[in-house]
Amino acid sequence: MKHYSTYAIEQLCSHIQGDVAAFNWLVNNDYKELLAVLDAIRDDKKAFKFLIESKQFVLAAFVNAIWDDAKAFKFLIDAKAYDWAACANIINGDDKAEEALKRAGKHHFVALAKAILGRIHEDGDRATTPMGVLKNLLNFKKAFEKD
């Protein structure tokens, strides 16, 4: 399991919140797998495939654990990726996980959870706007078009 510095996680948080400089830092410092996490959370199949093919199993499990996948959460625990597991639990509404990370001085993982939650809510809100609904309908229609 790859260890990520506090700064790298903070840059991921900033990227999730739309900071272009943080995105550039992650690219320039070869953290493509962290960039793929956000895309995979947003249901980008290629990003998730990239995580698997590059053997970033902890990050792939983290993505799935965010969406309440119990097996993925167990994988995180078995891999001793406790920070990632707690982060996923915060996203899933577990206040005790947030308290545990704060007690352990892992505030950057708490910030990551909150950034991801904000992005999930923002994406969901965007999907319910008139333009978002129209875009989703067009994408749905394209899914059933014959090649």
Residue ranges of the domains in the chain? 6-120
Residues 6+ positions from 134 with CB-CB distance below 8 Å:
none
Q: What is the pLDDT of residues 60-80, one digit of tens each?
A: 999 999 988 999 999 999 999
* % of the chain at pLDDT higher than 90: 76
DSSP 19: -
> Which pLDDT does position 51 carry in this prediction?
97
Rounded to two decimals, the pTM is: 0.82
> Which pLDDT does position 138 carry in this prediction?
53
Q: Is the pLDDT at 122 greater than 90, yes or no?
A: no
